Structures are given as structure tokens and as C-alpha cells.
């Protein structure tokens, strides 16, 4: 009698990558304390509207004021009530820090949203997909990643770029 062995099959996970919305260029304010402009607040809300029908299961964000406000506006607009982790390690991070955060904090989410800064996010998209992209403020990238769990992500993990959205900020 032959014995059937079931192996775990890879799962397709969705990674959303969001650059923070437009922030003020205030003199005398520390970079990490910069707030969103009026246009930036509207753009963050539009991004929430874009994902309202396919919300992330978890959000990982830089701890800066502008990324926090982007997440808050996004969440309110999208009616997102899931977990959010603000990580100091993602402030002006390089791709390796984003990958570590995904691996360490992604949990069992099917859809994960990263909120951060350039140039690290553009470099992350290039590292994962092999495609060079421009991410102005509030730009949203959607990628599919073929991993069983986020803890399987490594420096060699690749993804497929499936969409880029540029919410207007007028």
C-alpha cells in the first residue's frame, strides 16, 4: 500500500508598501516629528479608500510622526481595526530592516502593510521585484510573495509587483 504524504504548499501572501503621505517642511522641527500637510492628510485618507475592500491583516510602520499620522488617517478612512506596530527600526530604514520587520513581526497575516520612508522603500521594491519604481508621497505598491509564512522571508525572497497606486493630493 502506498502512503500519501502531504507536504505544506506555499501560500501567496500580499505585501502592501506605502510611503508616508506629504509632510510639512517645518524649520526647527526634528525630522521624525514632522506632521502631514493638509494635502498629505487627504492623500492618506484616499489610500485607505483604495484598500477598504481588501484590508491588510496587520500594519508595520515607522515610528515617525508622519508615518503614524498616515496610518491613523488610512485606518479611519478604510475602517481598519487590526493590529498596528510602530517600529523605531523602520525610521528611514534600509531594505534589510524592512525585511527583518516582515520576518519578525508579520505573524500569520495574509495581507501585510508596511508604512515607511524613501529611499528605503524604493530600494525594497527593487530588491523584492527586480523593478525600479518611483514612490512619491502616499504611493502604494502591491506585491505578491510566495511564502508559507512571513517568518520564511529572507534576503533572497522575491515578489511579483502587481499594482502601484498614486493617490492624488490636491
Tens of pLDDT, residue by residue over 78-100, are 999 999 999 999 999 999 999 99
Query: What is the band of 10 on the pLDDT scale with cuts at 50, 70, 90?
Result: low
Q: How many CA atoms lie within 13 A of 118 on its CB side?
A: 16
Q: How far is it, in rounded angstroms, from Cα 47 to Cα 145?
A: 21
- Joined together, the cell numbers standing for residue 134 give 518611483
Closest residue by Cα to residue 159 from 139, 131, 136, 133: 131
Which pTM was predicted?
0.91
- Separation of alpha carbons 37 and 137, rounded Å: 11
Residues 6+ apart with CB under 8 A from 168: 43, 46
* pLDDT tens per residue, range 11-39: 799 999 999 999 999 788 899 999 999 99
Superfamily of domain 12-22+33-165 in the CATH hierarchy: Phosphoglycerate mutase-like (3.40.50.1240)
Amino acid at each position: 500500500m502506498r502512503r500519501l504524504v502531504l507536504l505544506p504548499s506555499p501560500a501567496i501572501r500580499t505585501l502592501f508598501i506605502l510611503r508616508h503621505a506629504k509632510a510639512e517642511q517645518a524649520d526647527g522641527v526634528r525630522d521624525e516629528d514632522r506632521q502631514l500637510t493638509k494635502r498629505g492628510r487627504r492623500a492618506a485618507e484616499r489610500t485607505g479608500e483604495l484598500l477598504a475592500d481588501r484590508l491588510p491583516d496587520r500594519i508595520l510602520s515607522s515610528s515617525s510622526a508622519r508615518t503614524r499620522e498616515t496610518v491613523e488617517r488610512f485606518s479611519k478612512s478604510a475602517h481598519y481595526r487590526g493590529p498596528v506596530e510602530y517600529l523605531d527600526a523602520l525610521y528611514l530604514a534600509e531594505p534589510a530592516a524592512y525585511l527583518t520587520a516582515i520576518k519578525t513581526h508579520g505573524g500569520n497575516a495574509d495581507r501585510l502593510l508596511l508604512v515607511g520612508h524613501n529611499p528605503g522603500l524604493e530600494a525594497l521594491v527593487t530588491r523584492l521585484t527586480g523593478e525600479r519604481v518611483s514612490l512619491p508621497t502616499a504611493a502604494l505598491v502591491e506585491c505578491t510573495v510566495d511564502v508559507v509564512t512571513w517568518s520564511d522571508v529572507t534576503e533572497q525572497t522575491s515578489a511579483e509587483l502587481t499594482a502601484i497606486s498614486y493617490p492624488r493630493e490636491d
